[in-house]
């Protein structure tokens, strides 16, 4: 498996309905050659479900099996990951975590338009108000790689994607030799795995 990646892995996350897929649709057009992983689809296509949550009306993902399938792909770099769950990926393989946020009235309208039943709408609205997805991200990754972007309007999508594209260009400039895919242990402060000065 690849020891280094020469393009970043980017997670686009957020409460269901906040705009992950809409944002990724535009982002993958702007980031040429990137592979896009909608994890709900990826889990289904790779037989990574381990059950069904009747209460939430959603599949339960076998995270170990998911990562077994996904890690070799993420080690190649240049990945866009679209999922409302963000705290299951190995920190050493993630370069940017974009947490999309959405105003509650907008989120209600979107989820209602999808025909979600009231309990599922309420659960997601509560999660968005509490900032659950953001909290998961800041607890799982270095704070400086977690970016919170508002996603209420179509203009927001365009400006958010532009910011991510700018970040990606800067990342490539700053990492001409890529970065290591390997775990560097708790005390290495050099993400490239080179001996620090
Ligand atoms: N920034 C935005 N401005 C206006 N409408 C938006 C925005 N983001 C998403 N939408 C609309 O909200 C709905 C849900 O968007 P989308 O499917 O991208 O959300 P999601 O976060 O991927 O949801 P899920 O996690 O359930 O797949 C879509 O109808 C989309 O057009």
List pLDDT tens digits, range 146-189.
Answer: 999 999 999 999 999 999 999 999 999 999 999 999 998 876 55
**Pocket flag, ligand 1, residue 152 (CB < 6 Å):** yes
Long-range contacts of 42-48 (CB under 8 A, 24+ apart): 42/66, 42/69, 42/70
Residue 65 lies in a domain: yes
| Encoded tokens for 159 | 């400006």
- Ligand 1 center to 23 CA (angstroms): 8
Residue 7 covered by a domain: no
* pLDDT at 196 > cutoff 60: no
Q: Which residues span the domain enclosing 156?
A: 22-166
* pLDDT beyond 90 at 194: no
Q: Which residues are annotated as a binding site for ATP?
A: 17, 19-22, 114
* Residue 156 alpha carbon to ligand 1 centre in Å: 12
Question: Smallest Cα–Cα separation from 141: which of 13, 17, 34, 18?
Answer: 13
Examine residue 6 and state whether it is found in any structural domain, yes or no. Answer: no
Other beta carbons within 10 angstroms of residue 116's beta carbon come to 18
Q: Whose CA is nearest to atom 17 of ligand 1?
A: 21
The mean pLDDT value for 9-14 works out to 98
Which atom in ligand 1 lies closest to the alpha carbon of residue 156?
1
Residue 121 in any domain: the answer is yes
Residue 4 lies in a domain: no
What pLDDT shows up at residue 184?
87
User: pLDDT tens digit string along 97-116?
Assistant: 999 999 999 999 999 999 99
pLDDT for 188: 53
pLDDT, mean over the chain: 94
Indicate whether 190 pLDDT > 90.
Answer: no
In a domain, 120, yes or no: yes
pLDDT at residue 193 in the model: 44
Question: What is residue 187's predicted lDDT score, i.e. its pLDDT?
Answer: 61
Question: What is the pLDDT, as a whole number, of residue 195?
Answer: 38
Residue 20: is its pLDDT beyond 80?
Answer: yes
Q: What residues form DSSP beta bridges with 96?
A: 10
**Model confidence at 5: pLDDT above 60:** yes
Which atom of ligand 1 is closest in space to residue 154's alpha carbon? 3
Percent of the chain clearing pLDDT 90 (strictly above): 89
Q: Say if ligand 1 is within 6 A of residue 112 CB.
A: no
* Average pLDDT rounded to a whole number, residues 18-31: 98
Residue 189 lies in a domain: no
Q: pLDDT per residue over 112-129, tens digit each?
A: 999 999 999 999 999 999
Q: Does residue 130 fall inside a structural domain?
A: yes
169: exposed, middle or buried (C-beta count within 10 Å: 0-12, 13-18, 19+)? exposed
CATH number at residue 159: 3.40.50.300
**Which of the two residues, 155 and 56, has the higher pLDDT score?**
155
Into how many domains does the chain fold?
Answer: 1
Q: Is residue 54's pLDDT more than 60?
A: yes
């Amino acid at each position: 498996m690849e020891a280094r990646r020469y393009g970043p892995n980017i997670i686009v996350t957020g409460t269901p309905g906040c705009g992950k897929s809409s944002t990724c649709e535009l982002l993958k057009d702007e980031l040429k050659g990137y592979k896009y992983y909608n994890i709900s689809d990826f889990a289904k296509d790779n037989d990574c479900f381990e059950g069904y949550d009747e209460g939430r009306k959603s599949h339960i993902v076998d995270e170990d099996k998911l990562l077994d399938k996904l890690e070799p792909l993420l080690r190649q770099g240049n990945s866009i990951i679209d999922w409302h769950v963000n705290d299951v990926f190995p920190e050493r393989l993630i370069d940017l975590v974009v947490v999309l946020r959405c105003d509650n009235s907008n989120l209600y309208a979107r989820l209602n338009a999808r025909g979600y039943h009231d309990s599922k709408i309420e659960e997601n609205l509560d999660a968005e108000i509490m900032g659950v997805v953001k909290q998961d991200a800041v607890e799982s990754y270095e704070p400086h790689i977690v970016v919170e972007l508002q996603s209420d309007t179509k203009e927001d999508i365009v400006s958010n994607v532009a910011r991510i594209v700018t970040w990606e260009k800067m990342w490539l400039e700053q990492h001409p030799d890529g970065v290591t895919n390997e775990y560097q242990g708790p005390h290495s402060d050099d993400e490239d795995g080179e001996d620090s000065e």
